[in-house]
């Protein structure tokens, strides 16, 4: 009987707590939240935000002056006929530049070359940099030395690196002779119509792979060692650890490398310009006439700034579209 009475008293105490004490606690918590919000919106905090915006103002002005205004001018010029010698004399032509651009076989050829270039470069540099970064991660004391050695080509002048490769791939040179083992002809690669684009791909990947190796090495350091130890205990071999631990852990870094590589590869210009010596752009026979080479030739060699601006606008749209598709395909889970 006494136990039954105690249970009844406890039940009534719980119900009393639910009816009285709990609403009061919730009200106090809400008052604390509101007080925090009031404090967050206090004049002192607003002054701090104002100071922050004031510090950001110079950077925002530079962003407008160096990016937004030129992009706006680019769109405006694409609807006009403009000469670089008489820049103030402009004639509005509407979509005529775009209409002629879409019918230009040279523009279609440059799009095809850039598409092939991107499809060769982005997967190659992503896979190679990931594999090399994984190997470097297992190296002991010489890790920093190898990392620096791979990164040096990225810091070296494009003209210097491309010129060295041109000397190596002349007919009879060491690299051109070694390529005969793969069944390739012993020719000057950058002067051959079929080998000029693969030569451009080799130079480009060699220059940029160091940047992405350093990126993946930084990403590997964020993966907890306990995951590798647990996988080893479960009997996973090196390939299984790489596939099920390393690759998923580097997913954000893979997304960055692919997107950055795509943006840079679409805009390839320096290496193709050096190959031609700055004379006949896109040679041999248009094999290296990338999209930026086409824009440069139309705008500055042929003095058609409006037409070149229209091509540049399409390049900008291609970059945005490629970035969006890549993020959709490789979006983070």
How do the domains of the chain map onto residue ranges? Answer: 2-76, 96-329
Residue with tokens 């900008």: 316
H or E segment at 90? strand 90-92
**Cβ count near 210 (within 10 Å):** 22
242 secondary structure, DSSP code: I
What is the rounded CA–CA span in Å between residue 331 and residue 324? 10
What is the residue-averaged pLDDT of the chain? 83
In this predicted model, what pLDDT tens digit does every residue of 12-61 receive, in sequence order?
A: 444 444 445 444 544 444 444 444 444 444 555 777 788 888 888 889 89
Q: Which of 59-73, 76-90, 165-179, 250-264 has the lowest mean pLDDT?
A: 76-90
Q: How far apart are the first and last CA of the chain?
A: 60
Express each pLDDT in 156-213 by its tens digit: 999 999 999 999 999 989 999 998 998 888 999 999 999 999 999 999 999 999 999 9
Show the DSSP H helices in 104-224 as ranges: 105-137, 143-155, 158-168, 174-178, 196-220
- Indicate whether 10 pLDDT > 80: no
131-157: average pLDDT = 84
Structural class in CATH, domain 96-329: mainly alpha
Alpha carbon distances (Å) from 106 to 116, 195, 293: 15, 20, 11
Six-digit token pair at 28? 């106090």
């Amino acid at each position: 009987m006494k136990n039954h009475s105690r249970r009844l008293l406890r039940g009534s105490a719980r119900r009393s707590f639910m009816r009285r004490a709990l609403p009061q606690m919730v009200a106090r918590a809400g008052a604390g939240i509101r007080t925090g919000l009031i404090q967050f919106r206090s004049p002192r905090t607003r002054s701090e935000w104002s100071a922050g915006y004031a510090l950001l103002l110079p950077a925002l002005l530079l962003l407008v002056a160096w990016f937004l205004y030129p992009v706006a001018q680019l769109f405006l010029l694409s609807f006009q006929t403009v000469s670089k010698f008489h820049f103030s004399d402009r004639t509005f032509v509407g979509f005529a530049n775009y209409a002629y651009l879409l019918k230009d076989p040279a523009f279609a050829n440059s799009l095809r070359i850039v598409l092939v270039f991107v499809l060769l470069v982005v997967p190659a540099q992503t896979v190679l940099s990931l594999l090399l970064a994984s190997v470097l991660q297992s190296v002991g004391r010489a890790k920093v030395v190898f990392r620096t050695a791979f990164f040096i080509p990225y810091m070296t002048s494009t003209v210097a690196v491309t010129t060295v490769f041109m000397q190596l791939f002349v007919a009879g040179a060491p690299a051109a002779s070694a390529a005969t083992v793969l069944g390739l002809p012993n020719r000057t690669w950058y002067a051959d119509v079929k080998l000029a684009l693969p030569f451009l791909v080799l130079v480009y990947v060699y220059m940029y792979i160091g940047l992405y190796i350093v990126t993946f090495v930084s990403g590997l350091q964020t993966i907890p060692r306990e995951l590798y130890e647990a996988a080893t205990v479960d009997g996973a071999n090196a390939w299984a650890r790489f596939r099920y631990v390393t690759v998923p852990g580097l997913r954000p870094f893979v997304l960055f490398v692919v997107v950055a590589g795509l943006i840079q590869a679409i805009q390839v210009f320096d290496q193709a310009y050096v190959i031609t010596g700055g004379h006949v752009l896109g040679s041999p026979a248009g094999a290296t006439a990338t999209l930026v080479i086409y824009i440069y030739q139309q705008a500055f060699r042929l003095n058609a700034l409006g037409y070149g601006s229209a091509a540049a606008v399409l390049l900008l749209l291609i970059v945005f579209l490629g970035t969006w598709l890549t993020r959709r395909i490789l979006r983070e889970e």
